[in-house]
RNA sequence: GGCGCGGUAGCUCAGCUGGUUAGAGCGCAGGAUUCAUAAUCCUGAGGUCGGCGGUUCGGGUCCGCCUCGCGCUACCA
């Protein structure tokens, strides 16, 4: 039997996870793994906390605590929350563990010793002399060259969103000492991805590895293969990627000349899958290598779409460079889940985190499965999806309550009513009765195997729906009025109890808590690994899944309706969530209205007079090739005309701006853009929506006049 | 501009390697039923499958062009 190793993206131990994470990489993997276990497969599912990286140290410094405090907090929170949702990892490890440090160092050393995998580069980087430390991008703050924001980081300005490098910051400051950092030479190692480009292309596009078939590329999701191709087909190809950083939090680079350097977190994180497997194997008396290197080993990564390139290109390249490791047979990445029409955003409070949900819904019966179901039903498998509370309610009340829960309840009530809670005997031909549900069951299984969980869970409801329809068609309550001893009643209940038993097992991967409840109500033993095989076999052979004479327990409701006339407590929980969103929107609107951008640092009058701004008129305009946003403008300045390139093409068509009065900054250093030399800058005002408006003098006032 | 993903009923989405009258759930209209958590079941209305062209006996499904949405990327002095 093949050995399957399943991984889910390691959550960064710097914060809690929201519903989008759950729907992206953990819930689908849980469904898949639970299913495989029920089929008796040899499967191991590993995950864990990703606990390195500069973001954690920065946050620690800001909050006056240690990085260790942070990772302890979030490792515990995330691990615990996953457990509560029934996310059934075989191992939830952490990258701060010694076994991981060893594994990652060993991995690095092996590639280093191969000699041809890494490129060593020395360049100048900012250094904080007081702290005796090189500064990672995020340790440097300064003024954003684009928007003038004073708190921009060395990698990104959080005000305008532009991507920066530390060198671009104006007046850079170390966040450690607050001093101006100095430049100093430092050496780093880069992974030479270019060497792997050729076989990666083969592997991704054709599914062949070393000339042998490896996997069916058509079985991979379109967007996964597409994004990989987009990288592999890029003009410049795959660029070398830095594997080391100057930082004191992480895995020390195992080289004598690399004091004060750690492995870049992206390099050590995926190796976490390996060390987690080692830890699991140690605890369970297994050999981890069977799952990573064995001939019959299969590797499957569950991730969100932001991680595709790492798991389909970079990590496979690392594994191949190391040698012996099997590469993933599939990477069923999900897209993103939005929340009520917008992206999840912690800072804006938009969305709900997993542990928050558990807290807010603590009085909501079967809250774990209610959410698991809603997220599965609307999983972002092939495109972005949107989580809405109204949909949550609809799925819950219509499908879990009305279809599944109600069906079980009907069957249990009738079994007690007519047969004293015992499964009646019947000589009905089950093969014939099973025809439809056998087909649906096979389809459900197939869909899970294809990572199509949304369709799979639909099949589950279709089976329940088949049961409801069948019951309605026979209507034993009608027959009972005429002839209480009719064979037909026994037959109908006998068949229905088979269906309910089938549902108790088939629902387990999706809604495990409910599965357990149904098993209890049916007075059946808890499901064991491999049980689904027996069930499928009996189903195919027309044999009963629950025997005549077996006693079932008294009915109990599986799910309590949210829109309940007699009890609005659950509806109130939902309403509270919706109200929170309304409040956030209102607050946001208020803030926007009151916002006044901070004034830039004071300048002297002399500074101002350096600017030479004059009135002008656009006399010609044309688009620039291969540039979406740029227009080439010819501006009449009275005694002179100039060519100015302006980034306004998204909002203005060339013909619209001809004749436009403008103000032009004339003494700005000329600059070539997309092959056109720009000799000035058109002044524009920009509103909150990003809409542009020309700054201009009155029509006919004149060209070339100075603006002061 | 380049690359990728997507555009199917009012809404959310299925439609495998091209093949008979294009499907489901919700919503809507009508009806049946009472075992059941105002649950269930049946019937119906509703789609020029983003647009144009091509390959084919036949295209939602393949190819080309266009268009719209999203993502990455270049450009924004």
For residue range A108-118, list pLDDT tens digits in order: 999 999 999 99
Dist CA A329 CA A478 (whole Å)? 54
For chain A residues 542-561, those near strand B by a CB cutoff of 7 A are 557-561
Q: Annotate A321-352 with DSSP letters as a single string.
A: HH-SPPPEEE---B--EEETTB--BTTTTBS-
Count CB neighbours of A568 within 10 A. 13
Q: Give me the interface pTM, i.e. the ipTM.
A: 0.91
What's the token pair of residue A465?
A: 């729906």
pLDDT at A260: 85
Pairwise CA distance, residues A444 & A374, whole Å: 18
Q: Beta A337-339 vs A385-387: how paired, if at all?
A: parallel
Q: CA-CA distance, A120 to A186, in Å (whole number)?
A: 10
Chain centroid offset of residue A708 CA = 52
pLDDT of residue A599: 72
Domain A3-105+265-337, CATH 3.40.50.10680 — does that match? no
Q: Is A443 helix (H, G, I), strand (E, B) or coil?
A: helix
What average pLDDT does this structure show over A412-433? 96
Q: What kind of fold does domain A116-246 have according to CATH?
A: 2.170.220
In A 654-693, which Cβ lie closer than 7 Å to strand B? 665, 668, 671, 673-674, 678, 680-681
CB atoms closer than 10 angstroms to residue A603: 9
State pTM to two decimals.
0.88
The arithmetic mean of pLDDT across residues A77-90, rounded, is 97
Strand order in the sheet with A133-134: A133-134, A118-128, A182-191, A241-242
Strand B lies under 7 A from the Cβ of residue A651: no
Contact A262, A248 (CB under 8 A): yes
Say yes or no to pLDDT of A595 above 90.
Answer: no
- What's the rounded Cα separation, in Å, for the pair A708 and A689? 28
A669, closest nucleotide (Cα–C1'): B77
C-alpha angle A27-A30-A33 in degrees, rounded to nearest 5: 150
Least confident among A298-307, A528-537, A538-547, A674-683: A674-683
Domain-wise residue ranges, chain A? 3-105+265-337, 116-246, 361-541, 605-707
Q: Which nucleotides of B are covered by protein (CB under 7 A)?
A: 1-6, 12-15, 17, 24-27, 33-42, 70-77
For A398-408, the pLDDT digits (tens) are 999 999 999 99
CATH class as words, domain A605-707: mainly beta
Mean residue pLDDT across chain A: 89
Which pair of structure tokens corresponds to residue A488?
């037909």
Phi/psi at A376 (5° precision) = -70, -45
Same CATH topology for A3-105+265-337 and A605-707: the answer is no
| Planar angle of CA A237, A243, A244, nearest 5 degrees | 145
Q: Per-residue pLDDT tens for A334-391? A: 888 888 888 888 877 888 999 999 999 999 999 999 999 999 998 988 888 889 999 9
Find where tokens 């007699």 sit. Answer: A566
Residue A506 has pLDDT above 90, yes or no: yes
Matching residue, tokens 């059934």: A88
Q: Average pLDDT in the A159-170 region?
A: 63
Instruction: Provide the CATH number for the domain formed by A361-541 in this structure.
Output: 1.10.730.10
């Amino acid at each position: 039997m093949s050995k399957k190793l399943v991984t889910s993206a390691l959550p960064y131990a710097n914060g809690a996870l929201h519903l989008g994470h759950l729907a992206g990489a953990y819930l689908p993997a849980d469904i898949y793994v639970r299913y495989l276990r029920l089929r008796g497969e040899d499967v191991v599912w590993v995950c864990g906390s990703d606990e390195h990286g500069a973001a954690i140290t920065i946050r620690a410094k800001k909050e006056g605590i240690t990085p260790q405090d942070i990772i302890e907090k979030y490792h515990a929170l995330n691990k615990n929350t996953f457990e509560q949702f029934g996310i059934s990892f075989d191992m939830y490890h952490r990258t701060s563990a010694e076994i991981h440090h060893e594994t990652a160092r060993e991995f690095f050393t092996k590639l280093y010793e191969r000699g041809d995998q890494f490129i060593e580069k020395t360049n100048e980087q900012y250094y904080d002399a007081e702290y005796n430390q090189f500064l990672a991008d995020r340790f440097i703050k300064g003024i954003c060259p684009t928007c003038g924001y004073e708190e921009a980081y060395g990698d990104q300005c959080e005000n305008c969103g532009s991507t920066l490098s530390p060198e671009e910051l104006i007046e850079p400051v170390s966040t450690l000492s607050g001093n101006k950092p100095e430049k100093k030479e430092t050496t780093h190692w880069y992974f030479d991805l270019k060497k792997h480009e050729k076989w990666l292309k083969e592997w991704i596009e054709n599914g062949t590895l070393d000339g042998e078939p490896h996997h069916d590329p058509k079985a991979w999701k379109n967007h996964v293969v597409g994004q990989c191709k987009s990288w592999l087909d890029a003009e410049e190809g795959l660029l070398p990627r830095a594997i080391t950083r100057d930082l004191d939090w992480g895995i020390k680079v195992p080289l004598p000349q690399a004091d004060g350097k750690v492995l870049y977190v992206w390099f050590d994180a995926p190796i976490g899958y390996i060390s987690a497997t080692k830890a699991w194997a140690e605890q369970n008396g297994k050999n981890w290598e069977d799952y990573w290197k064995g001939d019959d080993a299969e590797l499957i990564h569950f991730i969100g779409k932001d991680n595709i390139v790492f798991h389909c290109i970079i990590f496979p390249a690392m594994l191949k460079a190391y040698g012996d490791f099997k590469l993933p047979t599939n990477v069923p990445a999900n897209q993103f889940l939005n929340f009520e029409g917008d992206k999840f955003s912690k800072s804006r409070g938009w969305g709900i985190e997993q542990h928050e949900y558990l807290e807010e819904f603590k009085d909501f019966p079967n809250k774990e499965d209610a959410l698991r179901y809603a997220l599965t039903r609307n999983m972002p498998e092939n495109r972005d999806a949107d989580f809405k509370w109204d949909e949550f309610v609809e799925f819950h009340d219509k499908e879990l309550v009305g279809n599944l829960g109600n069906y079980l309840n009907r069957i249990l009530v009738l079994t007690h009513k007519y047969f004293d809670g015992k499964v009646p005997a019947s000589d009905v031909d089950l093969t014939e009765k099973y025809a439809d549900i056998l087909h649906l069951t096979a389809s459900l299984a197939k869909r899970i195997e294809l990572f199509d969980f949304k369709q799979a869970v639909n099949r589950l409801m279709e089976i329940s729906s088949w049961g409801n329809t069948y019951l309605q068609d026979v209507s034993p309550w009608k027959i009972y009025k005429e002839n209480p001893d009719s064979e037909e009643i026994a037959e109908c209940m006998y068949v229905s109890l088979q269906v309910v038993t089938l549902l108790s097992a088939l629902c387990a991967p999706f809604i495990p808590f409910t599965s357990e409840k149904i098993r209890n109500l049916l007075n059946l033993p808890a499901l064991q690994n491999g049980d689904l095989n027996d069930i499928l076999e009996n189903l195919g052979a027309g044999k009963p899944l629950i025997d005549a004479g077996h006693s079932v327990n008294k009915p109990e409701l599986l799910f309590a309706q949210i829109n309940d006339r007699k009890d609005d407590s659950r509806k109130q929980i939902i309403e509270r969530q919706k109200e929170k969103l309304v409040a956030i929107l209102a607050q946001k609107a208020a803030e926007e209205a009151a916002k006044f951008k901070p004034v830039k640092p004071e300048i002297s009058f002399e500074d101002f007079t350096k600017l030479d701004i004059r009135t002008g008129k656009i006399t010609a305009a044309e688009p620039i090739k291969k540039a979406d946003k740029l227009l080439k403008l010819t501006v009449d300045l009275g005694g002179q005309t100039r060519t100015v390139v302006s980034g306004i093409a998204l909002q203005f068509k060339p013909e619209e701006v001809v004749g436009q009065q403008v103000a032009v900054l004339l003494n700005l250093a000329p600059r070539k853009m997309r092959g056109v030399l720009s000799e000035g800058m058109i002044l524009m005002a920009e509103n909150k929506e990003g809409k542009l408006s020309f700054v201009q003098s009155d029509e006919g006032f004149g060209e070339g006049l100075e603006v002061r």
